[in-house]
Copies of this chain bind each other. A is one copy, B any other.
């Protein structure tokens, strides 16, 4: 790589601003450690007049993709626009003009990564995307740049900071999902349309990227079993905590003879689980590899500077490693399998008017007895005049739990709101539980 490196910055939003400011602030560190003087020479923006809160030479700002892509002096493009259009076309043009591209675009990499990586290889340049997953956490570097002698066969991650912030706040304060979501939107932690974050689409994009890297293959992001957090209530988090668990939205990938189980779901994690204490907007990923075992990385998953850091470490890798950077190979299609239907542990809760509560709890006992499952814990909480009942079920399949929900919903006149969540790990033997304030006599039978 030559000594003077010129960068074209595509987008000057939160991440773009962080990249620009950091390249200025740390240019001596970068020069000292890479031998290259890096300079941003051209920036694509939507609005030249926008107030950005930092100084930038007006002459550098451009409204025209064509102008930026035609700028011959640029060695490396950094794409921080996001979304599929126009980012995909822009990156294709940049790669075809034999310039390296660094992107933070998870949706684009998850949906079109294989094709874009092929294009980069054909043009003898690199397409790097550390910033597309878990912000400042170098999990892509771990998988692609570090773990070479290791085979990774399981990935678990808290990959969406917005949902993690919402779940953390709900658990801390017992407030409802809509209430905390509204607050997160005010704080800028959640977007006006929060669907991608709270329904698990964003986490699914990131999980697909990590899975592709771990398995040198390409999964269909549409095939990922996805469940969001919008159905989780304050009482659920409260009762799960009393049972000794934290609820986290977990992206999970695991080998399953030739295929890979892929899911993004809220899960109950026991207190000892390395991800159970990762709160607020933090992200974390646990990689399970054949030699090193479990490796957990925790850090800021989003935000101006953590994401900028990931972009710029991709840049310094280009400057120092160049052609030595190992290229991902996403050519082999990999089928996504649903979670295996083996007996495991599940959390079941339902909310009803108090009069129906005892009938429901007795019905759950009958159903569990019928399918040979066990009730390891049972808790109740009064909530806005209704009763919230929660069961920790062992030795049942997910289908059996869903059947239980169908059957018990028959016995009450009101429409039943029920929630079923996966429980991570074995239920500790001899779990103790005591009935809550409004527990029933019948509880004794579960003991």
Contacts of A30 in B (CB 8 A): 148-149
CB of A272 within 8 Å of the partner chain? yes
A14 to B322, CA, bound (A): 37
Q: A148 with B320: in contact, given A274-B277, A277-B272, A291-B22 (CB under 8 Å)?
A: yes
C-alpha spacing A26/B152, complex, angstroms:
12
Contact of A292 among B33, B148, B274, B299 (CB under 8 A): B299
Rounded to whole angstroms, the CA-CA distance of A194 and B276 in the bound complex is 33
List chain B residues, Cβ under 8 A from A22.
149, 291
Stretch at the interface among A133-141, A218-226, A376-384: A133-141
User: Nearest B residue to A289 by beta-carbon distance?
Assistant: B309
Return the CB mask of A116-151 against B: 1 if under 8 Å, else 0: 000000000000000000001110011001111111
Return chain B residues, CB-CB under 8 Å to A150.
Answer: 26, 29, 309, 313
Q: Given that A291-B305, A297-B295 are known contacts, is A146 also in contact with B138, CB under 8 Å in the complex?
A: yes
* Inter-chain contacts of A274 with B (CB < 8 A): 277, 298
- Is A360 interfacial (CB-CB < 8 Å)? no
Task: Report yes or no: A29 in contact with B300, Cβ–Cβ below 8 A.
Answer: no
Query: Which residues from 255 to 302 on chain A have a C-beta closer than 8 Å to any C-beta of chain B?
Result: 271-272, 274, 276-277, 279, 289-300
Q: Mark A417-443, 1 if CB is under 8 A from B, else 0.
A: 000000000000000000000000000
A319 CB to closest chain B CB (Å) equals 8
B149 and A326 within 8 A (CB): no
A324 within 8 A of B: yes
Residues of B within 8 A of A324 (CB): 320-322, 324
The secondary structure that dominates the A interface is: mixed
Q: What are the residues of chain B within 8 A of A299 when measuring CB–CB? A: 292-296
> Is the CB–CB distance between B149 and A315 below 8 Å?
yes
CA distance A276 to B150 in the complex (A): 28
Q: Is the CB of A295 within 8 A of B149?
A: no
- Which listed residue, B29, B141, B148, B294, touches A149 by the CB 8 Å rule? B29
Quick check: B138 and A142 within 8 Å, CB to CB? yes
In the complex, what residues of B have CB within 8 A of residue A292's CB? 136, 299-300, 305-306, 309-310
Across the interface, do A151 and B26 meet the contact criterion of CB distance under 8 Å? yes
Asked if residues B34 and A148 are in contact (CB atoms below 8 Å), the reply is: yes
Residues of B within 8 A of A320 (CB): 148, 324, 326
CA distance A299 to B30 in the complex (A): 30
Inside 8 A of A29's CB, which chain B residues have their CB?
Answer: 148-151
Chain B residues lying within 8 Å of A294, measured Cβ to Cβ, are: 298-300
Q: Tell me if A308 counts as interface (CB < 8 A to partner B).
A: yes
Closest to A311 in B: B149
Can you list, as one digit per residue, whether each of A59-92 has a CB less than 8 Å from chain B (1) or not (0)?
Answer: 0000000000000000000000000000000000
Q: How far is the CA of A289 from the CA of B308 in the complex (A)?
A: 13
Q: Assuming the A-B contacts A148-B33, A148-B34, A313-B147, are A295 and B298 also in contact, with contact meaning beta carbons closer than 8 angstroms in the complex?
A: yes
- Cα A345 to Cα B292 in complex, Å, equals 37
> Is A146 touching B141 in the complex (CB atoms < 8 A)?
yes
Taking CB as reference atom, which chain B residue is nearest A271? B277
Neighbouring B residues of A227 by C-beta, 8 Å: none
Q: A409 near B: Cβ within 8 Å?
A: no
Known: A272-B279, A274-B277, A298-B298. 20 other contacts (CB 8 A): A22-B149, A26-B149, A26-B151, A26-B291, A34-B148, A136-B291, A136-B292, A141-B146, A147-B313, A271-B277, A277-B277, A291-B308, A291-B312, A292-B299, A292-B309, A292-B310, A293-B300, A296-B297, A320-B324, A322-B324
Q: Which A residues have a C-beta under 8 Å from some C-beta of B?
A: 22, 26, 29-30, 33-34, 136-138, 141-142, 145-151, 271-272, 274, 276-277, 279, 289-300, 305-306, 308-310, 312-313, 315-317, 320-322, 324, 326
CB-based closest 6 A-B pairs: A292-B309, A148-B316, A136-B292, A291-B309, A296-B298, A149-B312
23 residue pairs of the A-B complex, CB under 8 angstroms, read A22-B149, A29-B148, A30-B149, A136-B292, A136-B293, A137-B295, A149-B316, A150-B309, A150-B313, A271-B277, A272-B279, A291-B305, A291-B306, A291-B312, A292-B300, A292-B310, A293-B300, A293-B306, A293-B309, A295-B297, A296-B296, A321-B324, A322-B324
